[in-house]
Amino acid sequence: MSTLRRVSSFLTVLSVFALTLTALAQQNQPQIGIAPVTLNAAPYTFDTAELHKIRVVIVARGLPHPFSLAFLPSGDALVTERGARLRIVRNATGAGGAQPALDPQPVAGIPATPGFRGGGLQEVALHPGFAGNRFVYFTYNKAGAVGANPNQRQSAVTLARGRFDGKALTGVEDLFTGDWSNGASGSRIAFGPNGHVFMTTGAPFGEQAQDSNTVYGKVLRLLDDGKVPADNPFAGKAGVRPEIYSLGHRDQLGLAIHGPSGAVIAAEHGPNGGDEVNVILPGRNYGWPKFTFGRSYEGPRMGDSPVAAGIEPPLVIWIPSIAPTGLTFYTGDRLAAWKGNLFVGSARRGEVPRTGGLERVVMNDKLEELRRETLLTELHQRIRDVRQGPDGLLYVLTDEDDGALLRIEPAP
């Protein structure tokens, strides 16, 4: 046998041996997380630190990966299936004893978007004057050019609205479209006390969050027609997108207005740890990607320090990460012991699958944290959104293949 053939045979054997070792190593790898859990039809009852006891009821199920929830004055609920459809849960609050039911027909009028990772439909919210104008606002990612990886095609984050007639959105129009970017991330919106629209955008990788000439990694502030308010902090400044209200953010999948103070509050994903809740102030820099309490997914710290002069510190942080999502301040009386508390959805804790829950943070009137509690971890579901219903109860969405709308109420 020639030397070349002997070398070739040796390399072939070595390659097969390496593949065999890899396969054996994979077989011996620990399976992180627990097996998927299916919710029971019967209500769950839990004890909590300050409300004894609560009952968790399944309102509707069969929602593939729901992302956002908005209640209509009738007690129906609009639910977005992330990247896909807008659905209606009829009689979601069960007012008058009516049974909730998921309408089999999606709401017509949502722009069709090719399927790609992070693309398509995201947030849904009602205009403050919905009773008169019937405006429903939503965010989605327009699909752009396809690169080598079809899951990483270009997209442009977009704010749109249409009039809801009970079954469909009519007169749908794009109010604002951002610049084109590789990939896509989620966005949330909230209406401020003066009717301005606050909108989050993500920039999980790279330097976009610090680039003032792109809308990504920012909180934006718009008028309800999509135009730029004249008093935005960067309006009229050369080289800066005028829509920008704050910068230096990673992925922001929760946004709410604190009623008593009017403060804009956003939940932001860190990388591996360092998840935050921030008070969003005009023109301020929140540090990503250089200043963070998180580590890279490989383990090392992301920067020399999580804090610096000129960088806004977080209001609340989580180490390890909780993958924070939708958030709301509870203002009702039905769950009186929780009045004024901040609730934040959690998809998973410490990078371990199926450890999601609902974070409850007790704050004083200056938005200073007093104590916190984690709820609903026994369900082993990814919690994607939390909202207060018109009945004064809390509702959450589970981000699963068979996602559900749940109601939290006092146990009888």
- For residues 352 and 387, give the distance between their C-alpha atoms in angstroms, rounded to a whole number: 25
Beta-bridge mates of residue 120: 141
Residue 384 CB neighbours (<10 A): 28
Give percent of the chain with pLDDT exceeding 90.
Answer: 79
Query: Structure pTM?
Result: 0.91
Give the model's pLDDT for residue 17. Answer: 41
Residue 10 has pLDDT above 80, yes or no: no
User: In sequence order, which residues have a C-beta less than 8 Å from that of residue 266 and are 6 or more positions away?
Assistant: 188, 200, 219, 249, 252, 254, 255, 277, 278, 280
What are the respective helix, strand and coil percentages of the chain, to the nearest 5? 10, 40, 50
* SS3 category, 112: coil
Residue 113 has pLDDT above 90, yes or no: no
Higher pLDDT, 96 or 340: 340
- For residues 357 and 359, give the distance between their C-alpha atoms in angstroms, rounded to a whole number: 7
- Taking residues 338-359, what's their average pLDDT? 95
Give residue 375's region: left, alpha or beta (phi > 0; psi -120 to 50).
beta
Residue 246 has pLDDT above 50, yes or no: yes
Give the model's pLDDT for residue 407. Answer: 98
